[in-house]
Amino acid sequence: MNQLELNDYISKSIKSMLKSAFKNSLQNPKEAAFLTKSGRIVQKSVRRRKEMERKGYHIPPFFIGTVTSRQSADASYAVKNYDTSEKMLAATDWDRIFHEAESLGISSIILSGEEPFLRNDVMEKAATHQNIIFPIIVNGTHLSPEKINIFDLHRNLVPIIHMERRPKKVNHENDIDAAISQLNQTGIFFGVIITTTTECLEPLTSKPFIERLTERGCRIILYLESEPKANDTDIFNARKIFQERLN
């Protein structure tokens, strides 16, 4: 698959995801309005990327931006004596990047990091770019009412709750249930990203598990492979299992 085919595949996948999510949001006016607007954003971005393609420029539909590697001081996973002297891009630099991305036809920018909301200045800049969708990977155990209100006010910021699952520690009634319930009750479009291994892949891709999430308002489910000690064969087999389970 060449770069052009890959971009086209990703664009079609995003359109399909939005269409599917829209069907499940008809009882939620705010969510339906967000998805309708998102569809227009994606279509406009596709046209712009095609224009750039004709000029010889390959523009991706999205990219991932790590806004910080700092951790919340009260996070249960925080590392003691963590070095906070990292050099980070200023909010004005991110604002410039967002402007440039929009002009090139990039419709989505995933904001990640240990705790993206430690950079409230960047979140504020992102919220002003209404023609870009910003999925933000967040720690559900620290999703406060104040943060939920930000997502409610700025619908182009989409919370993606990080769920980490390890072998022998799979628990469907997890510690982020409260955050999921609050997002669902507020009518916010949200998703989850699940870090998993092949050893606990089956329950996390099972129909009951996925239905449980969708019934609680989850509209996006992403999987992140974590095979730290795996060789190339193990990784190939893991991806094959993913494709078989999710197709």
What is the token pair recorded at 89? 């891009």
Can you read off the two tokens belonging to residue 191? 């998703």
| Rounded Cα distance, 28 and 40, in Å | 19
147-165 per-position pLDDT tens digit: 999 999 998 999 999 886 5
Computed over every residue of the chain, the mean pLDDT equals 77
* Environment class of 241 (CB within 10 Å of its CB; exposed 0-12, middle 13-18, buried 19+): middle
**Element of type H or E holding 46:** helix 29-54
Nearest Cα neighbor of 126 from 162, 93, 161 is 93
The pLDDT of residue 136: 93
Query: What length does the chain have?
Result: 247
- Give residue 236's pLDDT: 62
82 confidence band (pLDDT: 50, 70, 90): very low
Q: What percent of the chain has pLDDT over 90?
A: 24
Rounded alpha-carbon distances, angstroms, from residue 218 to 18, 89, 103, 235:
13, 32, 30, 28
- Top mean pLDDT of 26-40, 60-74, 174-188, 205-219 is at 205-219
**Sheet containing 157-164: order of strands:** 62-68, 108-113, 134-139, 157-164, 190-196, 218-225
Query: How many other β-carbons are positioned within 10 Å of the β-carbon of residue 221?
Result: 18
